[in-house]
């Protein structure tokens, strides 16, 4: 029976799936899997360019002559594509997301140390979840890998986030 009180905490015997923001009292394989996927999603949001060092040349990488500029002006589709790319907003990760991502990537190291044979399976599963495509990995293999991470996190009494 579901309670409509906003302060009501979800309970497993309610017969409904937990809400998206539910944090269990201890780590579970499902929650670790969810945090791994979120960590890899955050990793995809990180910029791939190097650090700007503050020095370099102010000159353009190449020079356009009049014929090039005229050809570029005539190609409306390319101009629209360039404009769309310039105006595209790329979401940046928050510091909280980056901290959670770093923790999740550390969990992959835990799995790699304890069971290196399971690491590629869990990694492919997480990457497939992030890309929203089928993964083809066996569920029991994924669950075994996540359970190893859960056992380690709970043994070390790591806080659940």
- For residue range 44-79, list pLDDT tens digits in order: 888 766 555 555 555 556 677 778 777 777 677 777
Domain that holds residue 35: 24-45+91-155
**Residue 121 domain-assigned?**
yes
**Which structure tokens are listed for 30?**
């499902």
For residues 98-126, average pLDDT: 95
- Predicted pLDDT at 2: 47
- Nearest by Cα to 142 from 113, 114, 121, 117: 121
Q: Are 73 and 82 in contact (CB under 8 A)?
A: no
Within a 13 Å sphere around the CA of 7, how many CA atoms are in the beta-carbon half? 0
- Predicted pLDDT at 9: 61
Chain position carrying tokens 């996190």: 153
Rg of the chain in Å (alpha carbons): 23
**Residue 83 domain-assigned?**
no
**Residue 104 domain-assigned?**
yes
For residues 117-141, average pLDDT: 92
Q: Are 144 and 118 in contact (CB under 8 A)?
A: yes
Q: What is the tally of structural domains in the chain?
A: 1
Considering 37-51, 89-103, 143-157, the range whose residues carry the highest mean pLDDT is: 143-157
Q: Are 36 and 107 in contact (CB under 8 A)?
A: yes
Chain position carrying tokens 């190291």: 109
**Residue 108 domain-assigned?**
yes
**Residue 32 domain-assigned?**
yes
**Residue 55 domain-assigned?**
no
- Predicted pLDDT at 50: 58
Q: Are 27 and 160 in contact (CB under 8 A)?
A: yes
């Amino acid at each position: 029976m579901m309670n409509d009180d906003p302060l009501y905490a979800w309970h497993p015997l309610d017969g409904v799936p937990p809400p998206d923001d539910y944090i269990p009292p201890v780590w579970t394989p499902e929650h670790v899997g969810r945090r791994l996927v979120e960590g890899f999603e955050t990793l995809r949001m990180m910029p791939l360019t190097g650090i700007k060092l503050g020095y370099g040349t102010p000159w353009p990488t190449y020079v356009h002559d009049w014929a090039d500029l005229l050809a570029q002006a005539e190609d409306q589709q390319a101009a629209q594509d360039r404009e769309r790319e310039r105006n595209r907003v790329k979401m940046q990760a928050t510091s909280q997301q980056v901290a959670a991502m770093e923790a999740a990537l550390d969990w992959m190291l835990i799995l790699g140390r304890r069971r290196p044979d399971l690491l590629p399976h869990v990694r492919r599963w997480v990457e497939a979840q992030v890309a929203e495509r089928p993964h083809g990995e066996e569920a029991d293999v994924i669950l075994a890998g996540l359970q190893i991470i859960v056992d380690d996190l709970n043994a070390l009494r790591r806080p659940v986030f």
